[in-house]
Amino acid sequence: MRAGDALIGPVRSPRVTHDGPKTSLLSYGIAQLYLAAFGWKTEGDLPPLNKAIFIAAPHTSAWDAPFMLAVAWSYRMKMSWIAKHTLLEGFRGPLMRWLGAVPIDRRAALGQVAQVVARITESDGMFLAIAPEGTRGQTEHWKSGFYRMAEGAKVPIVCGFLDYKRKVGGLGPVFIPSGDVAKDMERLREFYKEVSGYRPEQFAQPRLREELEASGASTAVGSAKSS
């Protein structure tokens, strides 16, 4: 539905089709208005999950956050995301929690991955969005935290995406981490290679630091043998 149309058709059904935390019909309505105003639509279906790690990619602009929330709300999903615990203190706390912020204390003995795994494990349901690029700026690789969190909490990984070229946001493949990191990352590379971020030149293709290091080590060994 285009912004100039007289009527706004639903991007998704207002029915809840998953088993996880859900948003209100008010949030759903806000999502419809927001996506319609920018001429966006949604694509892909969500299996009946109640817990999952959602990849939020590409992440190249501040626009990604409102579009991510709008897409999630159009699926009636209450999407959570990691925030410094100080951001939820004081008057900002209620709003940040309503928007889905999950506080993480970086001073705690447990690392960020362990804290997230504990929260997901203890919860009745949680959909947690992680931006593996870790920054809106240029980066060479993805951070492996999303994969370690899914492994530790024993939950699926859902390939969320925002394609600014097509003006489509939604959900792609869903899979359980196999433990074969290279194989799983190749699956992600195949899916995201056609997805265009707001600044496509800044999108880092799905590749972990350990993959780059392993590739560099293999190249060095090969060079040493040939010399």
DSSP-derived secondary structure letter, 88: G
DSSP-derived secondary structure letter, 142: B
Integer Cα distance of 164 and 158 in angstroms? 19
- Those residues whose C-beta lies under 8 Å from the C-beta of residue 160, and which sit 6 or more positions away, are 54, 55, 56, 57, 68, 71, 129, 169, 170, 171, 172
pLDDT for 108 equals: 66
Residue 3 has pLDDT above 50, yes or no: no
Integer Cα distance of 140 and 212 in angstroms? 9
Residue 87 has pLDDT above 80, yes or no: no
**Angstrom distances, CA of residue 121 to CA of 52, 59, 198:** 11, 27, 34
Q: 170 and 159 in contact (C-beta within 8 Å)?
A: no
Residue 62 has pLDDT above 60, yes or no: yes
**Model pLDDT for residues 192-219, shown as the tens digit of each residue:** 999 999 999 989 889 888 787 766 554 4
What are the extents of the domains in the chain?
25-226
| Residue positions counted in the chain | 227
Coil, strand, or helix at residue 71?
helix
